C-alpha cells in the first residue's frame, strides 16, 4: 500500500525551494541554508508580524527543521531532474540555484497557494538579499531556539 502525503511532500517543498532560489537568483545556497530559507518562507509571521505566515502556526514547528531537510533533498532531486534547479560544486561544497528556465516556469503558475508562496519568497528575498548564509542560518536558529525553550518550560 502506497502512502500519500498531500502536504509537505517533495513536490510542495521542491516548489517552495524553486521559488526561493528564483527570488534570490543568481545566488546559490547549500542544503542547510535552504532548510532555513524554507522555514522563513513558511513561517514569515514569526519574523515579521506585518506579514501573514504561509502555513498556520503550530506550537511544535521547531521540529520542522529536523524533518524538512530530507524532504527538501527529495524536492531538489525532482526539480533538478526537470531542469529547473541547477547544482553548483565549488570549494565550499554543493550549492543549488535556479536554472534559466525557472522564471518562465513560475510565470505560468497561478494557483492561489503558489501566488501566496511567491509573495513570501519575495519578502524573504527583500529581507535577506544582502545576508550571507551564516547570518540567514543564525536568524532562523535564534527564533527556533526561542520556541524550543518555550516548549521546554511547559
Between these two residues, 133 and 60, which has the higher pLDDT value?
Answer: 133
Rounded to two decimals, the pTM is: 0.84
Check: CB of residue 29 under 8 Å from CB of residue 21. Answer: yes
**For residue 135, what pLDDT is reported?**
92
pLDDT at site 48: 82
Instruction: Give dist(CA 8, CA 14) in Å, integer.
Output: 9
pLDDT in tens, 48-94: 888 888 887 776 666 677 778 899 999 999 999 999 999 999 898 99
For the chain, percent helix, then strand, then coil, each to nearest 5?
60, 10, 30
Rounded to the nearest integer, the mean pLDDT of the chain is 84
Separation CA 102–CA 91 (nearest Å): 25
Which of 55-59, 83-87, 121-125, 130-134 is predicted with the least confidence, judged by mean pLDDT?
Answer: 55-59
Does an H or E element contain 44, and which?
none
Measured N-to-C along each axis, helices 31-42 and 112-128 cross at an angle, to the nearest 10 degrees, of 120
Distance CA 69, CA 18 (A): 15
Amino acid at each position: 500500500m502506497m502512502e500519500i502525503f498531500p502536504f509537505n511532500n517533495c513536490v510542495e517543498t521542491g516548489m517552495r525551494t524553486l521559488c526561493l532560489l528564483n527570488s534570490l537568483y543568481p545566488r546559490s545556497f547549500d542544503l542547510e541554508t535552504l532548510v532555513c530559507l524554507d522555514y522563513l518562507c513558511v513561517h514569515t509571521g514569526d519574523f515579521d508580524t506585518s506579514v501573514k505566515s504561509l502555513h498556520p502556526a503550530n506550537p511544535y514547528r521547531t521540529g520542522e527543521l529536523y524533518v524538512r531537510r530530507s524532504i527538501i533533498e527529495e524536492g531538489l532531486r525532482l526539480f533538478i531532474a526537470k531542469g529547473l534547479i541547477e547544482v553548483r560544486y565549488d570549494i565550499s561544497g554543493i550549492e543549488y540555484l535556479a536554472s534559466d528556465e525557472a522564471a518562465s516556469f513560475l510565470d505560468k503558475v497561478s494557483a492561489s497557494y503558489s501566488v501566496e508562496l511567491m509573495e513570501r519568497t519575495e519578502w524573504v528575498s527583500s529581507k535577506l538579499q544582502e545576508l550571507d548564509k551564516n547570518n540567514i542560518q543564525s536568524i532562523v536558529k535564534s527564533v527556533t531556539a526561542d520556541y524550543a525553550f518555550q516548549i521546554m518550560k511547559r
